[in-house]
Amino acid sequence: MSARGNDGGPALHVRGTLLPSGERRDLWLVGDRLTFAPVAGALTVADEGYILPGLVDAHCHLGIQPGGRPSDGIDQARSLAVVDRDAGVLAIRDAGSPIPYASLDDDPDVPRLVRAGRHVAPPKRYLRDIGVEVGEADLPGEITRQAGLGSGWVKLVGDWIDRGVGDLAPAWDVAAMAGAIEAAHAAGARVAVHTFAEESVAALVRAGVDSVEHGTGLNESDIDEMARRNTALVPTMINIATFGGIAAQAEDKFPAYARHMLTLRDRFPSIVRAAHEAGVPIYVGSDAGGGIDHGLAAEEMLLLHREAGLPAEAVLRAGSWGAREWLGFPGLVEGGLADLVVYSEDPRTDLTTLLRPRRIVLRGRVVR
Ligand SMILES: [Zn+2]
């Protein structure tokens, strides 16, 4: 390990209260690694405050531009990632991208990334031009292909409006869902599934999906099964708050769907709370991309606290160290990655401090 910082300058020194331990410590960032062993000549970039290994947005889309079209290219995806980074998000799981951008994986200006390939959906049952659309016969093969295009994840659409039925309906039959999950796991990828409805999520959880995205259709029995299997839930509360607008637009043509969406929205905070209490691992996802702006991970954390009633420490775990561990990015430990954000106040007693990062260091370089 060189004793230099990651931008070729001196190593960096930070002092403050480390979370979650709450210990006051000194740490040094040498290259792209963290050490608690003192480094001579280091540049002190913060000497008080509360230190997190950065926030995590575990569900957003760098490949979808504001308005919902695919991003124009890698430069636009990078600029969206930088918006997140400047809000203190230092690790991202891209939950489905219509454009490939693997070259950003090691970009020094971009948060740590894990990526799904494209959303995999049945024909005409998802947002136009965003997913790859296949019939059930081609599903396992497409999942295998998308596992190769992502980095560790695939994204499966589990349900969507069926215009013939006039309501949400499963995207696949139960055997096809199970086959898709099996194909992903055989390819070494974990499966994130988009699901709003009841029937589909019940089947997907029992078929062994790795993370439930949104999950508005969960019931108590599904939650118990998720806890038993250690299946993650990424509630995307900001997205669920848009269900009112979706329902209003759909009301004339699809009144049952509109009512269903409002019912799902209204019961959701209690579902998230019940999942937390049952021991389901919950992670923060803003669902930025398309209709939701980037840079809102801290707002999502506030919603988990205020609306779903998760305790502050659980919210911090969901949006910082716990989520990093889940995605495979070591935090504030000896030899961990050189990512951190310093806040003025203790986020355990005031989560709103997350809206005001005081110092951001990504990959051993000071961002601000
Ligand atoms: Zn999404």
Secondary structure of 288-333 in HEC code, one letter for each residue:
CECCECCCCHHHHHHHHHHCCCCCHHHHHHHHCHHHHHHHCCCCCC
Question: In this structure, what DSSP letter does residue 137 have?
Answer: G
Confidence check: pLDDT of 318 > 80: yes
**287 CA from centroid of ligand 1 (Å):** 5
Structure confidence at residue 6 (pLDDT): 84
Q: Mean pLDDT across the stretch 146-168?
A: 97
Q: Per-residue pLDDT for 354 more than 90? A: yes
Residue 328, classified by CB atoms within 10 Å of its CB into exposed (0-12), middle (13-18) or buried (19+), is exposed
pLDDT tens track for 11-28: 999 999 999 999 999 999
Q: How far is the C-alpha of 106 from the C-alpha of 112, rounded, in Å? A: 8
Q: How far away, in angstroms, is 72 Cα from ligand 1 center?
A: 18
Ligand 1 centroid, distance to 118 Cα (angstroms): 11
Confidence of residue 1 (pLDDT cuts 50, 70, 90): very low
CA angle 306, 115, 210 (to 5 degrees): 65
Ligand 1 centroid from CA 340, angstroms: 26
Instruction: Please work out, in degrees rounded to the nearest 5, the angle formed at the alpha carbon of residue 66 by the alpha carbons of 286 and 152.
Output: 50
Predicted TM-score of the model (pTM):
0.97
Q: Which residues contact 351 (CB under 8 A, 6 or more apart)?
A: 298, 301, 302, 305, 312, 315, 316
Compute, in angstroms, the gap from residue 285 CA to the centroid of ligand 1: 9
Q: Is the peptide bond before 20 cis (omega within 30 degrees of 0)?
A: yes
Position 280 confidence tier, pLDDT thresholds 50, 70, 90: very high
Two structure tokens written together for 15:
């002092």
Distance 313 CA to ligand 1 centre (A): 25
Calpha distance 213→287 (Å, rounded): 9
For ligand 1, the distance from its centroid to the CA atom of residue 293, given in whole angstroms, is 12
Closest CA to 57 of 225, 224, 240, 301: 301
Residue 2 pLDDT more than 80?
no
Residue 237 Cα distances to 70, 73, 243, 256, 348, angstroms = 23, 28, 10, 22, 20
Report helix, strand or coil for 336.
Answer: coil
Report pLDDT digits (tens) over 215-239: 999 999 999 999 999 999 999 999 9
Question: How far is ligand 1, taken at its centre, from the CA of residue 8, in Å?
Answer: 37
Nearest-angstrom CA–CA distance, 238 and 99? 24
Q: Which residues contact 196 (CB under 8 A, 6 or more apart)?
A: 159, 168, 214, 216, 217, 261, 264
Span from the CA of 289 to the centroid of ligand 1 (angstroms): 7
CA of 95 to the centre of ligand 1 (A): 6
For residue 142, what pLDDT band results from cuts at 50, 70 and 90?
very high
**Chain mean pLDDT for the chain:** 97
